Amino acid sequence: MFFGFGSQPNKEAAISLYEDSASLGCSKAMLALAAIYEVSDPQKSYEYYDLASDDEPYALFKLGEFMEKMNF
């Protein structure tokens, strides 16, 4: 839904479905939400990357990028 493969993109519906999946513990959904929010809401993006970092090595990489930008 977010990328519009086979249909028109619907960001609101995609976010809703990803949030439902993330609430059930799906780390891939957390990664998708973090990517969606990276520009518009960096704090929320960081939180989703942090949640996904238990299962997704890429999330740890992205957390490192955030820390580098914040000069930790």
Dump pLDDT digits (tens) for 2-26.
665 677 888 899 999 999 999 999 9
d(CA 34, CA 15): 10
- The predicted pLDDT at position 40 comes to 92
pTM for this entry: 0.84
- The predicted pLDDT at position 72 comes to 58
- The predicted pLDDT at position 10 comes to 84
